[in-house]
Amino acid sequence: MPGGLIQDIDRAKWIKKLKVKDRAAVNLFVSELGQGESEVLLLLLLAKKRDLIQSIKPLFEELIDKNFRLSQKIIQTILEKAGE
């Protein structure tokens, strides 16, 4: 992940850093992504499930604008899991 994006995430007041407890879920994505990227995706899904965010799609768009790279297949999979 580019250093600028990491700094943006560190400064974002709406992002709370947590350790992922479900390693098996993270490992589903690790084969195609890095550990950190997989954790970000799962945290977005969890935030949506807990009604902390209304939609993942605009957040994906913002991350992509900041050079967070994901394949369309992964984006579509996450959006489907989120019901979007």
Q: What is the tens place of the pLDDT at every residue in 15-33?
A: 766 676 766 666 666 556 6
Query: 10 Å Cβ neighbour count for 37?
Result: 19
pLDDT at 55: 93
pLDDT at 50: 87
pLDDT at 1: 46
Collapsing DSSP to helix, strand or coil, 77 comes out as helix
pTM > 0.75: no
Residues with pLDDT less than 50, the chain: 1-2
Measure the CA–CA gap between 47 and 28, rounded to whole angstroms. 18
